[in-house]
Amino acid sequence: MSGIITVITGPMFSGKSKELARLLRRQAIAKRKVQIFKPAIDTRWDQDSLGTHDGSANLEGIPIFSVFSFRDILSCLVGDVNVVGIDEVQFLSDNFKGFDKEGVDIIQGLRDLAQRGINIFVTGLNQDFRGEPFSLMPRLLAEADEIIKLTAICNICGDEAHRTQRIIDGKPAGYNSPTVLVGAGFDSKKREYYEARCNKCHEVPGKK
Ligand SMILES: [Zn+2]
């Protein structure tokens, strides 16, 4: 039987990692062999917990591998794996086509794993801080078998937040500032951080 690809998406602070942890924990309880991967770029991770902002999504007993490429994931897979989880999958690629830095087609690779009967669960930011499609996510969402779309709460008005607001030096980041979305709000000097915002309150100076 073929496995399916489930994509959990939404802005920062929408609980994607926590939802991934919940779904994978259920798979582990069902005695399925689970492996979890994280792009090495995301410094929020430690050895045994997912990158949630309150640190509550502990997955003790389920191995978590830090990877730089999709090929790393393939080389870490054990022969009898049933379930593969990837958190922050958007950091494995820097282009809409979904190729990793070694030129491997990540989405085709996920589909091949599913064809082998492996169920895939991934999280990813659907938009960058400009409110535009991000990395491989547009294609991945088009190819997903199931999509879980989460929202956060707008920091300004309390409505449902679909977007990630980037703040630099206390002001909304301009359209042309570089796309880097790592480690929400963990800049020790608070020069740069992120918030969840609704479509109305989301601000991107210079966006046409
Ligand atoms: Zn709002």
Distance 124 CA to ligand 1 centre (A): 22
Note the pLDDT tens digit of each residue in 173-187: 999 987 664 544 445
Distance 31 CA to ligand 1 centre (A): 42
Tell me how crowded residue 193 is: count the other CB atoms within 10 A of its CB.
15
Residue boundaries of the structural domains of the chain: 5-151, 153-197
Could you tell me which CATH number the domain at 153-197 has?
Answer: 3.30.60.20
Q: How far is CA 12 from the centre of its chain?
A: 9
**Which of the pair, 149 or 18, is modelled with greater confidence?**
149
**Which of the pair, 182 or 45, is modelled with greater confidence?**
182
Distance 164 CA to ligand 1 centre (A): 11
What stretches of 76-206 adopt beta strand conformation (E)? 83-86, 119-124, 146-149, 152-153, 160-161, 163-168, 171-172, 192-197
pLDDT of residue 94: 83
Active centre residues (catalytic): 88
Q: Which CATH number fits domain 5-151: 1.10.510.10, 3.10.180.10, 3.40.50.300, 3.30.565.10?
A: 3.40.50.300
Distance 11 CA to ligand 1 centre (A): 13
- The count of residues in the chain is 208
Token pair, residue 48, equals 């045994």
Rounded average pLDDT over 37-41: 81
pLDDT of residue 96: 86
The whole-model pTM stands at: 0.87
Burial of 157 (0-12, 13-18, 19+ CB in 10 A): exposed
Q: How far is CA 102 from the centre of its chain?
A: 20
Dist. CA 66–CA 39, nearest whole Å: 6
Note the pLDDT tens digit of each residue in 126-169: 999 999 998 999 999 999 999 999 999 999 999 999 999 999 88
